């Protein structure tokens, strides 16, 4: 009978351990924190690349040249397709949105809604034509035409060797003038990672 | 009593995966994939069988026409089997002491490649060409890595269909040189594997090779193919771009059934029971021969592009020496445990009983690993039908080996210039009996 209390404490401890092991753990992270889990493309890569692209594109001569030729008017951009040609399924939308947001917020560029967005807006305008009060109605045919289109690709080169692989991401973005198809800016950002898979698990 | 209870519990826990799939198969044979899916989802897989569960679920979802959910499930399969590649010492120990089925299922190499293939087909049928291209790159990585670690004499060194499908994706993307390389690799793989898997170079691939070689001005190579395949005329790449194209895959039958083959014998010297259990594939009857696709006056036939049945059987054959060695080692280990248990006490009656219990537990837990992706088709067939832009009522007829029409269906399609439409048809015979 003497070992009963210790047994009880032991059981209680065991129960506690089991309970802790079962509860879901959540740790809040800053959006800028770097956490690499699988080694694949993640939010950090998307952010790093878009930041670099924006810094680069705004510091290049095409912007000044445009401003010099047209006074103070800001160039209007439209995002075309950013193609994922890598070996991973990458959500290209979050990446293009990152780029778009930062460019708009720089105040140096106007962004035009994309093809799909425009469709919705036109429908709304049509609806306004019939239903809205005359002094609040927005007329059709007054859209801002884009001066440049931004397109891009995400490519990867993978060099695997056993449990280690080198992942090389190359993101290219191009700004093409809609007037004459001239490429006014080409940006490139590379990311290289060495991913080592763990050899053992439980 | 506790011993008996332990034995029972062990036996229940070891009920093999294939014991629980009868009703799923039954619904499939009745051409009711949705019902099969509902049956299958009743299974609550143990963590070790999670990958297998996802593979089957992904396939059943695809058969039911739920491509998006199928894609999500198969992507999850891929992620999980990647994680499970790391070696688990605990599972290794279990596989040497209890049985092989206690290890986490990651799938054979061909099953992992099939995950990519079916994902690519899912994406293609949903019109997501770039996503299918991602699968093409991944399958290339997988096969490349496979070649690095496997021996040269393995019959499944390449996956011919994966290469062929990859080529089709690249060609659709307009990436001619990559398409050419993939078609060439498919061609080489079909040639090499003709002996093992009995799949001749598909008719369509012959035309694809000539068209691409012409397109890339590889005159010598194109001439070589023309002579080898005895094809004088084929549609040029420029003409094909002017038309649309139907690419139909037919997934016929089911992959072979993996069963257990066990021998239980008493050892007269010790009085203890010895048991050895090994897996074995049993091919299913395959009444399907080919499908014909026709629209207006144009028609074509499918050719066999992948013989999963043969790949599965040959893969297991090549692994049999290792599986047998493990089974023998396990049998010896279990016998030593039982012997130790029966001689480990002063009370001879109790120790004999304990020894018997340990012996029985060892015998009961000796089960073969019969887990396999059973919802995979036995064979995949493919046809390409170029058509001028327009609306069509496509007629797909499935023919049996005795020329009988097994099934006939009509699909309405609208083709634009240069557009490729990917369609697929799953067909499972009513009779799923295995061949004797």
- Residue of chain A whose alpha carbon sits nearest to that of B72: A89
Task: Identify the band that residue B281 occupies on the pLDDT scale cut at 50, 70 and 90.
Answer: very high
Using CA atoms, how far residue B400 sits from B251, B288, B292, B295, B300, in Å, is 14, 4, 11, 21, 16
Using CA atoms, how far residue A11 sits from A16, A194, B2, B99, in Å, is 9, 45, 22, 32
State how far residue A166 is from chain B, nearest Cα, in angstroms. Answer: 12
Structure tokens at B214: 């012409």
Asked whether the beta carbons of residue A84 and residue B130 sit closer than 8 angstroms, the reply is: yes
Residue A56 is assigned to a structural domain of this protein: yes
Looking at residue B207, its pLDDT comes to 95
Residue A80 is assigned to a structural domain of this protein: yes
Residue A81 is assigned to a structural domain of this protein: yes
- 0.95 exceeded by pTM: no
Task: Identify the band that residue B352 occupies on the pLDDT scale cut at 50, 70 and 90.
Answer: confident
Asked whether residue B1 carries a pLDDT value surpassing 60, the answer given is: no
Asked whether residue A45 carries a pLDDT value surpassing 50, the answer given is: yes
Asked whether the beta carbons of residue A199 and residue B87 sit closer than 8 angstroms, the reply is: yes
Residue A87's domain is classified under what CATH number?
3.40.50.10610
A·B CB contacts under 8 A: 42
Residues of A in contact with B87 (CB under 8 A): 199-201
Q: Average of pLDDT values for A73-100?
A: 87
Asked whether the beta carbons of residue B148 and residue A84 sit closer than 8 angstroms, the reply is: no
Residue A33 is assigned to a structural domain of this protein: no
| DSSP string for residues in B242-287 | HSEEEEEEEEES-PPEEEEEEEEEE-TTT--EEEEEEEEEEPBP--
Task: Identify the band that residue B15 occupies on the pLDDT scale cut at 50, 70 and 90.
Answer: very low
Number of compact structural domains in chain A: 1
Q: What is the ipTM of this complex?
A: 0.72
Paired sense of beta strands A76-85 and A148-161, if any: parallel
Q: Average of pLDDT values for B90-108?
A: 82
Nearest CB partner across the interface for A87, out of B84, B137, B145: B137
Asked whether the beta carbons of residue B88 and residue A162 sit closer than 8 angstroms, the reply is: no
State how far residue B45 is from chain A, nearest Cα, in angstroms. Answer: 19
Containing structural domain, residue A176: 40-113+145-196
Looking at residue B116, its pLDDT comes to 95
Residue A14 is assigned to a structural domain of this protein: no
Residue A65 is assigned to a structural domain of this protein: yes
Q: Average of pLDDT values for B133-161?
A: 84
Residue A27 is assigned to a structural domain of this protein: no
Nearest-angstrom CA–CA distance, B32 and B335: 47
Nearest CB partner across the interface for B88, out of A84, A158, A202: A202
Contact A95, A164 (CB under 8 A): no
Percent of chain B exceeding pLDDT 90 equals 53
Asked whether residue B155 carries a pLDDT value surpassing 90, the answer given is: no
Residue A153 is assigned to a structural domain of this protein: yes
Asked whether the beta carbons of residue B141 and residue A87 sit closer than 8 angstroms, the reply is: yes
């Amino acid at each position: 009978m003497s070992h009963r209390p210790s047994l009880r404490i032991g059981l209680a401890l065991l129960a506690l351990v089991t309970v802790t092991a079962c509860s879901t753990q959540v740790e809040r992270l800053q959006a800028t924190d770097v956490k690499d889990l699988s080694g694949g493309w993640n939010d950090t890569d998307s952010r790093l690349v878009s930041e670099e692209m924006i810094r680069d594109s705004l510091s290049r001569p095409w912007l000044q040249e445009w401003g010099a030729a047209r006074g103070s008017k800001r160039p209007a951009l439209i995002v075309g397709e950013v193609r994922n040609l890598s070996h991973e399924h990458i959500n290209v939308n979050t990446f293009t949105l990152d780029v778009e947001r930062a460019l708009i917020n720089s105040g140096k560029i106007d962004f035009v809604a994309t093809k799909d967005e425009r469709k919705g807006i036109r429908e709304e305008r049509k609806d306004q034509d019939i239903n809205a009060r005359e002094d609040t109605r927005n007329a059709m045919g007054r859209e801002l035409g884009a001066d440049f289109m931004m397109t891009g690709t995400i490519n990867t080169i993978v060099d695997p060797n056993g449990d280690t692989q080198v992942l090389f991401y190359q993101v290219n973005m191009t700004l093409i003038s809609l007037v004459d198809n001239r490429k006014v800016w080409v940006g490139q950002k590379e990311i290289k990672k060495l991913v080592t898979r763990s050899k053992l698990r439980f | 009593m506790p011993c008996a209870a332990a034995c029972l519990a062990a036996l229940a826990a070891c009920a093999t995966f294939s014991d629980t799939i009868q009703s799923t198969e039954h619904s499939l044979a009745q051409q009711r994939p949705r019902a099969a899916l509902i049956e299958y989802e009743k299974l609550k897989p143990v963590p070790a069988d999670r990958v297998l569960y996802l593979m089957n679920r992904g396939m059943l979802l695809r058969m039911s026409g739920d491509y998006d959910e199928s894609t999500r499930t198969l992507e999850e399969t891929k992620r999980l089997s990647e994680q499970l590649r790391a070696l688990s010492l605990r599972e290794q120990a279990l596989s040497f002491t209890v049985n092989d089925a206690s290890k986490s299922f990651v799938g054979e190499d061909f099953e992992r490649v099939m995950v990519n293939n079916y994902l690519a087909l899912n994406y293609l049928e949903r019109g997501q060409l770039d996503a299918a291209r991602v699968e093409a790159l991944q399958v290339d990585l997988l096969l490349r890595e496979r070649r690095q670690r496997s021996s040269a004499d393995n019959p499944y060194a390449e996956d011919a269909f994966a290469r062929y499908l990859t080529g089709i994706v690249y060609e659709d993307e307009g990436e001619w040189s990559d398409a050419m390389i993939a078609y060439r690799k498919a061609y080489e793989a079909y040639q090499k594997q003709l002996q093992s898997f009995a799949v001749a170079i598909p008719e369509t691939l012959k035309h694809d090779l000539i068209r691409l070689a012409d397109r890339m001005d590889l005159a010598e190579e194109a001439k070589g193919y023309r002579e080898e395949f005895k094809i004088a005329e084929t549609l040029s790449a420029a003409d094909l771009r002017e038309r649309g194209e139907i690419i139909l895959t037919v997934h016929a039958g089911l992959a072979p059934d993996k069963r257990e083959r066990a021998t239980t014998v008493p050892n007269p010297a010790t009085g203890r029971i010895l048991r050895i259990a090994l897996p074995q594939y049993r091919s299913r009857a395959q009444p399907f021969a080919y499908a014909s696709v026709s629209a207006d006056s144009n028609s074509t036939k499918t050719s066999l592009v992948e013989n999963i049945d043969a790949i599965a059987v040959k893969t297991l054959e090549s692994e049999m020496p290792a599986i047998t060695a493990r089974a023998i080692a396990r049998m010896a280990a279990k016998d030593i445990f039982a012997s130790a248990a029966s001689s480990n006490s002063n009370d001879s009656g109790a120790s004999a009983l304990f020894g018997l219990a340990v012996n029985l537990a060892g015998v009961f837990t000796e089960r073969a690993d019969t887990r396999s992706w059973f919802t995979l088709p036995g064979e995949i067939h493919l046809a390409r039908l170029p058509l001028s832009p327009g609306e069509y009522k496509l007629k797909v007829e499935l023919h049996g080996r005795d020329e009988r029409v097994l099934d006939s269906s009509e699909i309405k399609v609208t083709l634009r210039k240069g557009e490729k439409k990917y369609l697929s048809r799953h067909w499972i015979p009513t009779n799923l009996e295995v061949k004797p």
